[in-house]
Amino acid sequence: MKTGGKNALVVVSYVVFSVVLFHHLWAAPQTRMLADNNQDQVFFEWVLTHAARLFTHGDTPFFTDQLNAPLGVNLMANTSILGLALPLAPITLLFGAPVTFAVISTIAPAGTAIAWFFMLLRCGVVRTRTAAYLGALFCGFGPAMISQTTGHPNIAGQFMIPLILWAVFRMREPGDTVRKGLVLAALVVYQCFINEEVLFLAAFALLVFLLVFLRPGEMLPAARAALPALGVTALVAGVVMAYPLWHQFTGPQAYHGLPDFVHGFSADLYGFSNFSRRSILGDIPRIEKLGGPTEENTFFGWPLLLLLPAAAASLWRHRGARALFVTAVVFSLLSLGPIVRYKGEETTWHGPWRYLVDLPLFDSVVPTRVALVVTPLVGVLLAILVDRFVVPPPVTRPEPVEEAAFASEAPATDAVADTDGTDEGKARDKAGDKARDTFQDDDEEPLPYAGRWLWAAALAMALLPLVPTPQPTNDRPLAPVFFSSGMWREHVPDQATVVVIPGGWWEGLDAMRWAVDSDIDFKIAGGYFLAPDPNDPEHKAMFGPTYPPTWSLLGQVGNDGVVPQLGPEHVAQARTDLAYWKADRIILADSHGNSDAVRQTADQLFGPGEHIADVWVWKVQH
């Protein structure tokens, strides 16, 4: 089979794996939701719908007052995934945000694996497709990535990172400096509009890797070779991102750092040797206290945990493998957070993250996500292991390719085309040969077949228990007929502000779902987002809105079902809160468990409501 056919089979297989992973969601995306994390799915469906409104209503991409009225939400400071939402807006407009969410969830692991496969081959990290295929499979479908697919397509979708690394590694090659800088700038800008946290962690990991990989005498020449193109990248990306980043960090509803309790979301030391809940050997009761289903970023399982040091020891003379392993250890330690946890309990040990947590940018990183760096590092290390110790080396000398940035081996057979014969092409090939000569182990001897079988068996024992199971789903809560039928348009003015009561976390999510069903044609108070905490002098982030006294009162009634006797002061406070919200309509769904008690309380505060279909509506008189 020709090279193109083999590569096509690789791509198709990754896509099939991803579709199988989400087949419960694809069975009925309009009526099913992820069972383990529907709140983030609600948020992403909301931002996908908002992105589509950019084309139909001319909304701004970086801020919205349709959510958290009247203050609004800084979408650059939240995860608005414009890099995915805007290109896929036609799907959202035609089929709805739930279908688009299923699409981006499916693209995330498959696209990541595909990008790593071609990067491993194109950069000459491995010689064979088998090695690249297995390593890329782990990069896209490893336990951490499967965990992130639980409602975090922006984090699981790391398909731009291999491309960015490829562009960085090309900086040392001869060629057009401006073009190389522009290519990297375009990739960096696009990744910024998918997820900045992943980009930041990738850059941090690359820095640590290069410090370990490069010999002292190589650092200055490498920097001199790369700086001109990097300067072009910094200039272009800086200009393009200047306004979005200004808006993110200093614009309306900007915040500075995550809430203090988020810094406690670190990897559990005990989790490294356990299997994640989505792995075929996952034991949910055993790991329930070690982290939620969306952040099982270090659950490699004890067989792989034993294999990796053995692999590192066997590959220690391979500079790339050695640097990968050391970098993986560094980021594993950092992921333990400021205070190390073991079996769900804090210990007296302090983690190295304590020295970084208060630094700019680092204060916006969730510690456990630092471990996301480890998955691709392990994936590439496994690819090198397979290439060296499992797959027999190619008999013929491979064709030269672009510089093998951190590999010690020749590039994969059938991976690239012949040299173009130009002076630039010959110079590139010469540079690539020089790089391979630098990293080549001169005394390398082929491993006997018995040894290859032993390594293959060890890999199978380490990786087969990590095979993921499909993401489970639940029935999507039905929206009130008042909204799903479009009846609301007869009773709610266009772009009116709607306050959903009794008010609380789940009511905020309900309001967002109903708004999505209505194409966000009305504003809602509250919701699910990150915004500055008005009670924090440093303006750190908080999840969701502040709750005025009236919302808190109705929320208590919604919880206990007891109707209080209210006085004039409560009515006056309700008027103050309605004025703060600039509310036009107050809505209570019949489906709420204590709806009758909430209705009676609301009648005392706002006057008699009107029952329409399956909701109660109070019109606010201005």
Statement: residue 412 has pLDDT above 50: no
Beta bridge partners of 473: 34
Question: Residue 571's pLDDT is what?
Answer: 96
581 against 449, higher pLDDT: 581
At CA 211, angle to CA 188 and CA 359, rounded to 5? 65
Task: Give the confidence band of 442 by pLDDT, cuts at 50, 70, 90.
Answer: very low
Question: Residue 411's pLDDT is what?
Answer: 42
Average pLDDT over residues 525-549: 93
Statement: residue 429 has pLDDT above 80: no
Q: Which two tokens stand for residue 544?
A: 């969701």
Torsion over CA of 498, 504, 505 and 507, rounded to 10 degrees?
-50
Q: Looking at 135-139, 445-449, 591-595, 607-611, which range is the least confident one?
A: 445-449
Helix, strand or coil, per DSSP, at residue 392:
coil
| Measured distance CA(553)–CA(348) in Å, rounded | 40
pTM over 0.85: yes
Question: What confidence tens digit (pLDDT) does each residue in 231-284 have?
Answer: 999 999 999 999 999 999 999 999 998 888 888 899 999 999 999 999 999 999
Task: Give the confidence band of 477 by pLDDT, cuts at 50, 70, 90.
Answer: very high
Q: Which two tokens stand for residue 243?
A: 């306004």
- DSSP letter, residue 500: E
Residue 418 CB neighbours (<10 A): 9
Nearest Cα to 436, choosing from 79, 54, 123? 123
Average pLDDT over residues 512-516: 96
Question: What confidence tens digit (pLDDT) does each residue in 195-246 have?
Answer: 999 999 999 999 999 999 999 999 999 999 999 999 999 999 999 999 999 9
CA–centroid distance for 153 within its chain: 5
CA–centroid distance for 424 within its chain: 38
For residue 420, count CB atoms less than 10 angstroms from its CB and return exposed for 0-12, middle for 13-18, buried for 19 or more.
Answer: exposed
Q: Looking at 1-10, 91-100, 443-452, 456-465, which range is the least confident one?
A: 443-452
Task: Give the confidence band of 438 by pLDDT, cuts at 50, 70, 90.
Answer: very low
Nearest Cα to 298, choosing from 329, 318, 268, 277? 268
| Measured distance CA(320)–CA(277) in Å, rounded | 32
Mean residue pLDDT of the chain comes to 91
Question: Residue 443's pLDDT is what?
Answer: 47
Give CA separation, 321 vs 327, 372, 403, in Å: 10, 18, 17
| Measured distance CA(321)–CA(312) in Å, rounded | 7
Helix, strand or coil, per DSSP, at residue 349:
strand
Task: Give the confidence band of 396 by pLDDT, cuts at 50, 70, 90.
Answer: low
Q: Provide the pairing of β-strand 345-350 with 610-612.
A: unpaired
Question: Residue 173's pLDDT is what?
Answer: 82
Q: Are 113 and 145 in contact (CB under 8 A)?
A: no
Statement: residue 172 has pLDDT above 90: no
Please spell the DSSP secondary structure of 562-604, one letter per residue.
PPPP--HHHHHHHHHHHHHHT-SEEEEETTSTTHHHHHHHHHH
Give CA separation, 329 vs 106, 316, 326, 366, in Å: 30, 14, 5, 18
Question: Residue 402's pLDDT is what?
Answer: 41
Statement: residue 418 has pLDDT above 50: no
Task: Give the confidence band of 406 by pLDDT, cuts at 50, 70, 90.
Answer: very low
Q: Provide the pairing of β-strand 523-524 with 497-500.
A: parallel
Task: Give the confidence band of 521 by pLDDT, cuts at 50, 70, 90.
Answer: very high
Statement: residue 456 has pLDDT above 70: yes
